[in-house]
Amino acid sequence: MAVLMGLTTVVMAQPNGKGEGKERNGGKQEMRADNQRGPGNDIGLTDVQKEVFQKGRTETAKQVQPLHNQLGEARAHQKTLTTAEKPDMDAINKNIEKMGALQTEIEKIQTKHRLEMRAQLTDEQRVKMDNAGHRKGGEKGGGRMEHRGGLSMR
């Protein structure tokens, strides 16, 4: 079973052979004509729209990256706190609150970016983009499974 899961991970991480790799964005997996995340030519973006979207992605990434780094550090600290000989529940709960606040801030920035980009679309493009989210399993998750090392109860 572990071997099968390992092989699945390796296969899913590989590009599709056309130079188009999948990347994650807050749980979403999308494709772009320029081989990056996003709606791309599926919705008929103009060259001007593609340029505006690229600038928006870059600005959003600059804002979100430090928050992702802090979140990673908080997760590592959480592991330290929860595996201590005598766990301090107050410190654990405080760290959980910190992680929640970071995740909320990341989501706010990403949502603002999505809405700003959506405002650049025509009505027809917006309909296509909205429908594309439904085909991929909804806006969040995209049908992918995630395991964060928790305990399973059998």
The pLDDT of residue 57 = 96
**Matching residue, tokens 């107050």:** 90
Q: What is the pLDDT of residue 116?
A: 94
**Which pLDDT does position 50 carry in this prediction?**
93
CATH of domain 28-123: 1.20.120.1490
Q: Are 132 and 39 in contact (CB under 8 A)?
A: yes
- What is the predicted pLDDT for the residue at 84? 97
Q: Are the C-beta atoms of 130 and 120 separated by less than 8 Å?
A: no
What residue ranges do the domains of the chain occupy? 28-123
Cα–Cα distance, 31 to 12 (Å, whole number): 15
Mean pLDDT by 10 residues, the chain (154 residues): 42 43 43 45 87 95 98 98 97 98 98 94 91 62 44 45
SS3 at position 24:
strand
What pLDDT sits at residue 145?
A: 40
